[in-house]
Chains A and B, each alone.
Chain A
Amino acid sequence: MTPIIEVDNVSKVFPARRGPRALRGGLGLRDWMQGGRKTFKALRDITLSVAPGESLGIIGRNGSGKSTLLSIIAGVTLPTSGRVTIRGRIASLLELGAGFSPVLTGRENIYLNAGLMGMRHAQVDEVFDDIVAFSGIGKFIDQPVETYSSGMYVRIGFAVAVHTNPDIFLADEVLAVGDAEFQRKCRQKIGELREQGKTIVFVSHDLGIVNTLCERVVLLDNGRMLQRDTAQQTITYYLRQVGQEKGVHAFGDAETEVIHCDGRVSVFHERREISAANGFTMDIVSLGQNHSSRDADWEVTEKSERDCTAVGKMARLPITLHWEFVCESGRLLWRIAMICDRDCPIDQITVLLMLPTGYARWLYGDLTGIFPDIAPTDTSWNVLVSPEAKSTETAALPGADVALPPLMFRMEKHNTFFGLLWANTEYLMYSRVLSAQARFPEHENIFSAGRHDIMELTIDPNIPLESISDHVFSSRTVRSGPVSARFESGCIRLYWNDLALTTYLHVYTSLLIEHLWNDSQSLQWRSIVPIDGGIRFTGESRRFPFSQEWEVMEGEQGLQLRLWLVAQQELMVQECHTTIVVPAEYQRWETDHEQGVFPPHDPDRPNWKHCNQSYAPGKRIAAWSERLPSITMEADDTCPEVRMTAINTSLQENARALQALRPSDVGRLRFPAGRTPYFSGNIRIVLPDAT
C-alpha cells in the first residue's frame, strides 16, 4: 500500500537568530557576527513511513525532536534536507484553539479555523451543527470567544479539527487539556477515529495512551531515531534506555525485573511486562487537585541489584514520596511512605497498579469475576469491585493462552482508610487497574508534618495458577481438618472443604450501646497476626471507646473461638451477642433446655424472630440440616454467662441464626476499663452421620 506519510531522510537544523541576545548589554555585534553559525540540529536522518489507517506514536524525552518531527509532518516548517510526502489531508490538533481570534465570535472562528485547514465555507456549513453540538458551546456560539473560558476554546478547537474529516490527525498532548468530561469525549472521539481507519500520529509523554492508541511507536533521542517497533517493544526499550538518568533504576531478582522510572514502576516477569505501559503510579488529591507521582522530581537514593529506594519531591505539594522496593526471589515488595514538610490537607491517596488486558479474571475476597472487554465507547473507568469488600489480598489471573503469570497482591496498610478495588480503564488507557485507594473524611484529612507510612504492597508472580485462591486467603484462614474459617472484614466465614456453612453476616458479634447496634463488621479491623494454632485480629470501634480482640484457633472437631472486649473506659452495654448465621437449609435446632424446628420465614415480619421459649443461661446450641454438617456452638468455662437462642432472620435474609446472647440484666453488662472476656467457646462441625 502506498504510505500516506513518507518521511525520507529528513534532517532539520534550526538556525540561530541574529541580533543581540538580550535587551541590555550593548549592540551585540559579536553575536551578530557569530549568530549564523550557532545552529541547533533537531532531527538527523529520520526515515519512516505510515500506512493509511495506521497510528504512529512518537515518544522521547523533552528536546528529543518529537515536536519538530510533528511540525515537519504538519508542513508548518520544511526539513533542512530530505523530503516529506503526505497523501491526504491533515488536521492538526496541536495547541487547540490557538489560532482563534478573541474578537471574533465562535461561529466566525469556526469558519476561519476550518478555512486554515483547507475547508471551504460550503463544506463547513455541512458540519457546522455537528461542531457546535460536539463542543457543547450552545448559545455562546455568537459571542466573541474572548468571553469564553479556556475550556470552551479547546473544545471548539478540537471539535473543528475532528469534523474537518481529514485523513490524518496529528496530536500533541491534546488530551491533557480541558475538563474531565471533555477529556473523556476527546478520548472517545479519538478511539472512534482510530476505528474508522484514520491515520493518527501522536506525540505524548503518556506512555499508556501511546501504547493503546498506536500500533507502532518511534523513539527519538537527540534528534535520532533510536527504535521503531511495536508500541510495547519501543516503550520497553525507552524505559531501559533512560536507565542512566537519576530518577531511574532497574533491578530485579529471579525472573522478575523492575524498573523505577521517575515515579512510575514497570515490572517484567520472564522478560514480559506484567505492568501496563502506564506502570504503577501513585496519585495524591489535595484541595481538589490531582498530583501524580510522575510529576514529582525523583532521585534514586539507594540502589543495588535487588532493591531500590527512590525519593520523589512532589511538584506542587509540600510532600516527598519515599518508595522502597525489595525484590526477593521474584516477589516485589513496595513500601510507600510520604514525608510532609508541613501540615498538608489530602483528600485522597491512590496507588494505581495498571495491568495489561491479558489479565482476564480477578479474585478478591470471596468474590471473583471476569474483566469485561474494553470497548471504544468506554470513556471512563469501570469499577468492577469496590473496597467495600475490604479484603487486603487479591489476585489477577491471565486469560487462556496468555503468557502472563498469575499475580497475587497483598496490601499491608498503615492507614486504615485504604481499600482495594479492581477496575477497567477507559479505552485509551486500555488496561486493568488495581487501585489501593483511601478517601479521607473531612476532619481527618490533615496530614501533619513528618513521616507517614502509607502501605506495603507485595506483588507475587510466582504462585501457580491452581493454588492462587488458597494463597489469597492463607494468612486469614484457620484450618482444622475439613473445617476452615476465614476471617474477613469483621466476620468469620466457615467452610466444610469448599462448602460454605455460613451466610449473610457469617460469624459476628454485636453490641447495643446507647441504643445503637455495633456490629463487628462496622469495626475497623487491623492486620491479622498469626498465633499458636490460629490467628488473632483486632477491630476498633469508630463510635465508642472500645475494641474487640478475636482469636480463632484450631479446635477439636472444629474451631476454638476466644473473644475479648477491650474498653478504654467503663462501658455500659445494653445487650450483646455472638452469632453464627447459617443458611435456611438448617432446619432443626437444639439448646441445653429445649429443641425445635425452624419455622418457615414469615414474609410479613421484617425483624428477626426468636424460636426458643426458654431464656435460661445455657452452654450449647446446635443446628442440623440434611445436606450440610451440623454446627454446634458451645460456651466453655471461661465464657461469661450467655443464653443460647435460635433465631429466624427475615425472609429476604433467608437464614437462621444461632446466638449466644447476653441480655441486659441490671449491672451485668458493665464492662470495666481493660480487657474482659466477651465470649469463649468452640464451634463444632460434624457430618450428620458422625453424630
Chain B
Amino acid sequence: MNTVVYDSREERKLHRLILDLVRARELLLDLVWKDLRVRYRYAAMGFLWAVIEPLAFTVILTFIFTFVFADRTAPAQLTDGPPFAVMLLCGLIFWQCLSASLATATTSMVTNKNLVTKVRFAREVIPIAACCMPLVQLAIGFILLLATHLAFGGSVGGTLLFIPMVFIVQFVLTIGAALFLACAHVHYRDVGSLISVLLILGFYASPVFYPLEMVRGARVPQWIVTAYMANPMAGLLTCYRQIVFEQRLPDMSLLVWPCICAALAFLFGALLFRRLAPTMSDYL
C-alpha cells in the first residue's frame, strides 16, 4: 500500500519508459488488434486487402513506368537486376510500412483522445501501436515479394536473415519519428496535413520505384546527391534490395547514416514524448 504508484513529479522522467512499456505489452497488443479491427471492419475481403493493396499499387506503377514512361525509365530496365515489378514491390512494401506508420501515428493521440483524457497509462503505447499495425501488412507483403521474386526466376537464400536486422533500424527510426510527430500534432494540428504532404514527397525522394544507382548515376550536382542520401530511407531501401536480389550482406556504408538517424530520432522522440505526454490531455 505504501509503495508510490503514481507521483506527478516522476511522470516526465525517461528512465521509467522501458519498465512502463514492458508492463503495457499486453495493452499494446490489444491496441494493435483494435486498430486492425477498425481498419478492416466490414470489409468483405478482410485481411486480403493487405495483399491486394501493395499488389495493385505495384501493377499500376509497373504499368506507368514500363509503358507510359518507358523511354525515361530505360536505364532501370537495362540494369541486370530483377524485373521492374519485383524491384518496385521490394521498395514499396517497406516504404508503405513507414508511411502508413507515420500517417496513423501522427494523428493517433487525437483519435484516441477518449482514452488519453480519461485514463492514466503509458501513453507511448498509442503511437507505438500505430507503428506496429503496418507490420502485419509488411509480413504479408514480404511473402508476396518472395513469391513474385521466385516466380520471376529469382532465388532466395540464407541472407534473408539480414532483413530483420536492417528492418530493426527502420522500425526504431519509425517509432522515434512517430513519437515526435504524435506530440507535435497534439499541439499543432497542422502537422497531420503537413505529414501527408511530406510522405508524398518522401515517396518520390526515396528509391521506391527506381534503384539508388539511378540517382547516383544521374547527371546532377553532387550536393543534390548528398541531400538525397540524407534521407535514411534511401540507404535502407537499397539495403533490402541488396539482401533480397543480390543475396549478400548489405553495404555497411549505406547503413551507417540510417543507424545514426534512428538512434537520434528515437532518443529525441522518446524524450520529447515523455516530457509532453503527461499534459497532453489538456490540449486534446
Measured between alpha carbons, how far is A83 from B12 in the docked complex, in Å? Answer: 13
Q: Is there an interface contact between A14 and B121, defined as CB atoms closer than 8 Å? A: no
Instruction: Tell me if B154 is interfacial: C-beta within 8 Å of chain A.
Output: no
Q: Is there an interface contact between B8 and A15, defined as CB atoms closer than 8 Å? A: no
Stretch at the interface among B44-52, B76-84, B248-256, B275-283: B275-283
Contact with B along A85-111 (1 / 0, CB 8 A): 111111010110011010110001001
Stretch at the interface among B23-31, B141-149, B158-166, B221-229: B23-31
A48 to chain B, nearest CB (A): 14
Beyond A78-B279, A104-B37, A115-B27, whether A98 also contacts B118 by CB under 8 A is yes
Measured between alpha carbons, how far is A76 from B118 in the docked complex, in Å? Answer: 6
Q: Which of B3-46 contact A (CB under 8 A)?
A: 3-9, 11-12, 23-24, 26-27, 30-31, 33-34, 37-38, 41
Q: Is there an interface contact between B8 and A83, defined as CB atoms closer than 8 Å? A: yes
Instruction: Tell me if A84 is interfacial: C-beta within 8 Å of chain B.
Output: yes
Q: Is there an interface contact between A121 and B37, defined as CB atoms closer than 8 Å? A: no
Beyond A90-B6, A103-B41, whether A115 also contacts B118 by CB under 8 A is no
Q: Is there an interface contact between B30 and A108, defined as CB atoms closer than 8 Å? A: yes
Measured between alpha carbons, how far is A84 from B4 in the docked complex, in Å? Answer: 10
Q: Is there an interface contact between A79 and B8, defined as CB atoms closer than 8 Å? A: yes
CB-CB nearest in chain B for A113: B119
A384 to chain B, nearest CB (A): 41
Chain B residues whose C-beta falls within 8 Å of the C-beta of A88 in the assembled complex: 1, 5
CB-CB nearest in chain A for B3: A87
Measured between alpha carbons, how far is A74 from B121 in the docked complex, in Å? Answer: 10
Instruction: Tell me if A2 is interfacial: C-beta within 8 Å of chain B.
Output: yes
Chain A residues whose C-beta falls within 8 Å of the C-beta of B38 in the assembled complex: 101, 103
Instruction: Tell me if A52 is interfacial: C-beta within 8 Å of chain B.
Output: yes
Q: Is there an interface contact between A112 and B27, defined as CB atoms closer than 8 Å? A: yes
Q: Which of B101-123 contact A (CB under 8 A)?
A: 114-121
CB-CB nearest in chain A for B115: A99
Contact with B along A1-16 (1 / 0, CB 8 A): 0101000000000110
What's the count of A-B pairs with C-beta under 8 Å?
112
Contact with B along A62-88 (1 / 0, CB 8 A): 000000000110111111001111111
Q: Is there an interface contact between A17 and B7, defined as CB atoms closer than 8 Å? A: no
Chain B residues whose C-beta falls within 8 Å of the C-beta of A86 in the assembled complex: 4-7
A329 to chain B, nearest CB (A): 54
Q: Identify B7's interface contact among A2, A19, A84, A101, CB under 8 A.
A: A84
Instruction: Tell me if A446 is interfacial: C-beta within 8 Å of chain B.
Output: no
Listed residue (A84, A89, A112, A167) with the most chain B CB atoms within 10 angstroms of its CB: A112
Chain B residues whose C-beta falls within 8 Å of the C-beta of A596 in the assembled complex: none
Q: Is there an interface contact between A90 and B120, defined as CB atoms closer than 8 Å? A: yes
Measured between alpha carbons, how far is A101 from B12 in the docked complex, in Å? Answer: 28
Instruction: Tell me if A118 is interfacial: C-beta within 8 Å of chain B.
Output: yes
Listed residue (B11, B30, B34, B119) with the most chain A CB atoms within 10 angstroms of its CB: B119
Q: Is there an interface contact between B8 and A75, defined as CB atoms closer than 8 Å? A: yes
Beyond A84-B8, A85-B4, A103-B41, whether A115 also contacts B283 by CB under 8 A is no
Chain A residues whose C-beta falls within 8 Å of the C-beta of B33 in the assembled complex: 104, 108
Q: Which of A510-562 contact B (CB under 8 A)?
A: none
Measured between alpha carbons, how far is A311 from B113 in the docked complex, in Å? Answer: 41
Contact with B along A390-431 (1 / 0, CB 8 A): 000000000000000000000000000000000000000000
Instruction: Tell me if A246 is interfacial: C-beta within 8 Å of chain B.
Output: no
CB-CB nearest in chain A for B116: A76
B120 to chain A, nearest CB (A): 3
Beyond A94-B118, A108-B30, A167-B1, whether A78 also contacts B8 by CB under 8 A is yes
Other 14 A-B pairs with CB < 8 A, given A84-B8, A87-B3, A90-B5: A4-B1, A19-B189, A76-B118, A76-B119, A77-B282, A78-B279, A88-B5, A92-B119, A98-B118, A101-B34, A108-B30, A108-B34, A117-B121, A144-B41
Closest 10 CB pairs of A and B: A75-B120, A115-B27, A86-B6, A84-B8, A78-B278, A112-B30, A116-B119, A103-B41, A98-B114, A103-B37
Write 20 A-B pairs (CB below 8 A) sorted by A numbering: A4-B1, A18-B188, A72-B8, A74-B119, A75-B11, A75-B120, A75-B278, A76-B120, A86-B5, A90-B5, A90-B120, A94-B118, A95-B114, A99-B118, A99-B119, A108-B30, A108-B34, A115-B27, A115-B30, A116-B119
